[in-house]
Structure 1
């Protein structure tokens, strides 16, 4: 069975990829939606490659068996038999790992099984707190007009950009609605937060807004905050970040299928 280790590992990794991409929306925890076809193709190819490796391994095993039978028929001499036995013993002691690799290699199946059975959650408050509020350098300027009607739904990224850099102050007097997960500072200040990704979770950065006028839900709870923007600091200054929203209501919601915003 050990000789089938590489085939099993390939098939497990492929099945895990298909599990999160082809048969669920879990891949959105890790990558952008546009990468789904690549994940599906990769999963299918890995499963097929595992099947091919298993077939080749089985064929090679049968050939080795036939070769051993031929060798037994050719070995007529008693001393040759003894020599063959000694060689077999040397082989079993000197090459314990065999052609399929060391037994410890089977441990590589554990991460694949974990992804297949227990996909890790999306990044949350811990990752957001590790982000040192780094922001792309942007100049102060005008933004496109907001849609008419209140409340207006904004991403955390767009709300932060307008609050900090919009010279027209387009957020003033508008009721806005933001959705994200809860993070908190040690002093009790809390934020509605979202992680922004360009490609995948590995390049995530943080967008957040400080919420005032409402009690903080538990950390990592997903909420929709409806309220108004409170201007803080001069445009483009550190004092303007993070932007502040005076909450009229805070409603707990389910985590969206895609927990990230596109950067």
Structure 2
């Protein structure tokens, strides 16, 4: 059985990668959509290598009288556990726990005028777009406009709650937090996904810590399903 250990590890890892990238959209919990082709190719290559290793192991003649090296193969089997867990129980997207550990990080841009928002409403904005305009827009383009934001719920101990979204450049490992404080509505459970419609509530001076996090006065809060891609892109 030890001869097939490397083959099984390769097959499990390849199958796990293909499961999240080819057979579902679970890969979006970990990396950007543009990396999908690389994941699929990697998964197929690992499966092919696993098959080749299994064939080679079958052809090998196990040495007679060999008693050493029993422990190393047994320990190596522990490497199969992460691949098996990913295959059977893929972890959820990062949520309120990860967001709560992030320091406030804002776009590295100065105060200035932003382009006008589209006519009509409510205007659907990402949290990054809303936050940038709320904190840095000298033209106050959010004033009097009804906007719609979607994200998951995070809460402070004092009852303050936020619509939150994690932003990634490449993968979940570099995720940072963007959040908007919601006022005028009861807080849904933590990690619930919601769409909030409302109007900007100005606070603080432009470009200062006092303006962060931005605030939205809610007119409606609606529970929604988690989107296939739970992250916003920088």
Coarse TM-score class (shorter-chain normalised): over 0.9
Number of residue pairs aligned between Structure 1 and Structure 2: 234
Structure having the higher helix fraction is 1
For 1:36 and 1:144, the matched residues in 2 are separated by: 33
Q: Does structure 1 conserve the Cα–Cα contact (< 8 Å) formed by 2:95 and 2:191?
A: yes
Quote how far apart the aligned CAs of 1:259 are: 0.2
Counterpart secondary structure, 2:167? strand
For 2:107 and 2:196, the matched residues in 1 are separated by: 25
Alignment partner of 1:248 out of 188, 200, 219: 219
For 1:245 and 1:173, the matched residues in 2 are separated by: 12
Does the alignment pair 1:175 with 2:137? no
Alignment partner of 1:223 out of 194, 202, 207: 194
For 1:225 and 1:134, the matched residues in 2 are separated by: 22
Does the alignment pair 1:24 with 2:24? yes
The alignment's TM-score, normalised by the length of structure 1, stands at 0.87
The alignment's TM-score, normalised by the length of structure 2, stands at 0.97
Alignment partner of 1:186 out of 148, 157, 160: 157
- Tell me what 1:156 maps to: 127
Q: Which runs of 5+ in 2 are unaligned?
A: none
Quote how far apart the aligned CAs of 1:59 are: 1.4
Counterpart secondary structure, 1:194? strand
For 2:232 and 2:113, the matched residues in 1 are separated by: 22
For 2:215 and 2:107, the matched residues in 1 are separated by: 19
For 2:20 and 2:126, the matched residues in 1 are separated by: 25
- Tell me what 2:44 maps to: 44
For 2:69 and 2:2, the matched residues in 1 are separated by: 12
After the TM superposition, list the runs of 4 or more consecutive aligned residues in structure 1 that deviate by more than 6 angstroms: none
What's the CA shift string for 1:226-252, capped at 9, x where partnerless?
000011011001110000000000000
For 2:179 and 2:44, the matched residues in 1 are separated by: 38
- Tell me what 2:180 maps to: 209
For 1:55 and 1:96, the matched residues in 2 are separated by: 22
Alignment of 1:2-13 (within 5 A): 2-13=2-13
For 2:108 and 2:227, the matched residues in 1 are separated by: 29
- Tell me what 1:260 maps to: 231
- Tell me what 1:84 maps to: none
